[in-house]
Homo-oligomer: A and B are copies of this chain.
Amino acid sequence: MYFVVQFLSMKKLTIKDIAHHFNVSISTVSKALNDSYEISVSTKEKIQKFAKENNYKPNFNALSLKNRKTKTIGIIIPNMLNYFFAQVFKGVEKVANERGYKIISCISNESFEKESETLEMLSNGSIDGIILSMAEQTEIEKDYRHFKNTINGGIPIVMFDRVADSIDCDKIITNDFDGAVSAVQHLSKTGHKKIAFISTLSHLNIGRLRHQGYIKGLEKENIPVNTEYIINIKEDDYKEYENVLTPIFNKLDIDGVITTDESSAIAAMKVAIRKGHKVPDDFSVIAFSNGILARHSSPKLTTVSQHGEQMGAAAAERLINKLQKPKEEQQNETIVIKTDIVERKSTKPLF
């Protein structure tokens, strides 16, 4: 019996083995397994039964080679320890899985070089398309040649969150600008007028957009912009945030804060509390966030929530749809997944 041989040799069952077993040609087997009308019902049945019983699986590499499609997508994430990116990944995985795609995942560690090498490595027929969020370094240095090369090489890219304006590809973004406007308005409508803006992302485009949104929000609320209230934290290490904020908070009179991330929001809360404030009674905090910290802090953070999973799902949908369309019909699109303000316990009307 075949399976004995298979068990002993531990070699996978192939179409050729099956052909041999039934004394038919390999193309008959191939067609039978693909349920071709050309093959008689009886042979189809026996071949399919045998294949099933012996756990036949078409070889992935042979199929990919033949079809010039791998049904695999690559994803490059700047930092896997970031909760937002983990959420995006989850969204991508879900859709990819539903649609029969595998995911090769890579981490750029915010490095241009790693990102570039990864793209190179994947451009050898390993994958059909790529989903990525730019490395910090790439965004700062604005060197996008590797993206262009990849796209020119026939591999479509979908960028999310940290996207390159000058690259023509699908993009999934958040309404960073409007989110910041809303945050300001939320605070203003509840009586806060001395609103600071704390950014740890001033070097990134999403940081600039949130900054601009903050300004716009103040304008809309007729609050004069005071540049002292705009605090850009350059330190990489969140442990330093409190130290940076303490002297500033001591100097300024602040009743509300909007931050570009969770860690700095928590630092701001701590500093404010240490200074004698009660959060949220006389000091409110809103953070851009997707995270776990917001729901575990005391008090829990009110946030401008990005929908990471949705963004990932949208990215995967876009990419897979494109892959399954003829090249001529493909065109690029930018999809905005809107933020929501989620009220928790760090905000409260002043009156």
Question: Which residues of A approach B to under 8 Å, CB–CB?
Answer: 7, 10-12, 55, 57-62, 64-65, 70, 72, 80-81, 83, 86-87, 89-90, 93, 97, 102-107, 120-126, 149, 152-154, 239, 262-263, 266, 270, 292-293, 295-298
**Are A106 and B93 touching (Cβ within 8 A)?**
yes
Give Cα distance in the complex from A102 to B60, angstroms.
Answer: 16
CB-CB nearest 4 A-B residue pairs: A57-B124, A61-B64, A61-B65, A10-B154
Indicate which residue in B55, B87, B120, B293 contacts A296 across the interface (CB closer than 8 Å). B293
Report the minimum CB–CB distance from A10 to chain B (whole Å). Answer: 4
B contact residues around A297 at 8 Å (CB): 296-298
Contact A124 B90 (CB under 8 A): no
Task: Please state if B107 and A90 are interface contacts (CB–CB under 8 Å).
Answer: yes
Contact B124 A58 (CB under 8 A): yes
Contact between B80 and A70, CB atoms less than 8 A apart: no
Q: Shortest distance in angstroms between A293's beta carbon and chain B's nearest beta carbon?
A: 5
Contact A90 B83, CB 8 Å, known A57-B123, A102-B126: no
Which of these, B61, B104, B239, contacts A125 with CB under 8 Å?
B61
Q: Are B298 and A270 in contact (CB under 8 A)?
A: yes
The answer to whether A153 touches B93 (Cβ under 8 A) is no
